[in-house]
Amino acid sequence: MNNIDPKYIFPLPFGISLKDIHTKISKNFNYHHDRNKYILTFNFMTIQEHPFDCGCLIIGGLNYCNKEPLSLIEKYASLSGFSKIIGTIRAKSFNQVFIKILQEANYTFIDTGPSNRHPEFNTWLIYKVIEPEIKGYI
């Protein structure tokens, strides 16, 4: 049994602690450590730190995007000092619910053309720059 106080457990190395996530964001999340890879999940949407930019989160699972976990991820980013969120998506058309949710949340889309593995899908790089509530390292 792990008896470490949650205020000393950090799912992502430069983010807020488990205790802070529970009290300030949500109790509905998971985290996973695998060697040097740290992943935090909110309802099928995952985030991890960009390995070469400590102020940037990489977001995955965007095909499962809905408003609640997206807002929780943005709140986590803000409280952890991250100012950039980036990711990629693929879809058969731009007229998808998850794309509309990202557009409403003011994500910027860069069309990167057909998927090289599944050319029937188009791909986009998405990003959002936020003004985090917390500045510097946590």
How many domains are there within the chain?
1
Any domain includes 110: yes
In a domain, 10, yes or no: no
pLDDT by residue for the chain (138 residues), tens only, comes to 455 677 777 888 888 888 899 889 988 888 888 777 789 999 899 999 998 998 999 999 999 999 999 999 999 999 999 999 999 999 999 999 999 999 999 999 999 999 999 999 999 999 999 999 988 776
The verdict on residue 138 lying in a domain is no
Phi and psi, residue 115, nearest 5° = -60, 135
31: helix, coil or strand?
strand
Asked whether residue 136 is domain-assigned, the answer is: no
Q: Cβ distance 114 to 121 under 8 Å?
A: yes
Q: Is the residue at 97 inside a domain?
A: yes
Flag whether 6 is in a domain. Answer: no
pTM beyond 0.85: yes
In a domain, 45, yes or no: no
Where in the sequence is the domain holding 89, given as residue range(s)? Answer: 63-131
d(CA 30, CA 73): 12
